[in-house]
Structure 1
Amino acid sequence: MELLALCWHPLWVPCTLVLSVVLWARRAAWRPAACPVDLRGKTAVVTGANSGIGKCVALELARRNARTILACRSRERGAAAVEEIRRATGNPDVHLRILDTSSMASVRNFARQFLEEEGQLHILVNNAGTTG
C-alpha cells in the first residue's frame, strides 16, 4: 500500500493527459507527404536509385517536379526504374545516367558528362553503397 502511495500524486493524471494531447497533436500535424515544396527548375542526382531508399527518394523528387537523374550501375534496372517513376509521377524529366561508384573511371566519366550536359546541381543524394 505504501508503494502505491509513493507512486501516486495528484498531478500524474493531468500531466499525463496534457502530454498525451501534445504528442497526439504533433503527430497529426506532421505529414511529410503533404509538404508543398515544388522543385521545378532544380536538378537532383540520386545514386543507387534503381531500388530501395534511392528509388523512393528519386520518386519523391520527381513527384515534386525536380529534374531527376538516376545514377545507377545497371542500365536495365535503371531504365526500368526511370519508366516506373515517370509513370507514377507524370514527370517526363526523369533520366538515367550510368555510374559505378566503385570505379573512379566511372565516377570521372559521370562527372564529365554531367558538367557537359547540365547547368547546375541543386540536390545530390549519395545513396549508393560501395564495397572494398
Structure 2
Amino acid sequence: MEQATMNWARGLFRLWLVLSVFWIATLAVAMRPDLQWSQYTESYAQAEELARDLREGVTAESLTEAQAEAVLRAKEELFLRTDKKVQSSWSTITAFLAIGPGVAAGLFVIGFSLLWAFRGFRGQSK
C-alpha cells in the first residue's frame, strides 16, 4: 500500500491565505478604514472650502480692522484644526494599508524564501 505524501508547499500556502484573510478582516474591523476615508473626504472638502474662504478674506465694510483681523485669525484656526483632522485620517488609512496587506505580503515572502531554501537540501531524485 502506497502512502500519500504531504504537500507542505500547498498546505503552508493555504494556511497563509486563511491567516491573511483573518488578519486583514480583523484589522479592518479594528481600524475602520471606511470610516476614516469618509472622515478624510469630508474634512478635506471642509478644508478646501475654508481655504477658499480665507483667500477671499474679510471684506465687510461694517467691521473694524481689529474685528476683521480677529475673524481672519478665527478662520485660520478653524482651517488648521480641519487640516489636522485630514492628516490624522490619512495617516490612519496609510497605516491600515501598510500593516494589513503589508504584513501578509511580508509573511508570504518569508515563507516562500524558506520553502525555496529548504528545497535546496533535497537529494536528487532518480
Whether the TM-score (by the shorter chain) exceeds 0.5 is no
> Quick check: which one's helix share is greater?
2
TM-score, with length taken from structure 2: 0.30
Larger radius of gyration: 2
Whose relative contact order is higher, 1 or 2, with alpha carbons under 8 Å and at least 6 apart?
2
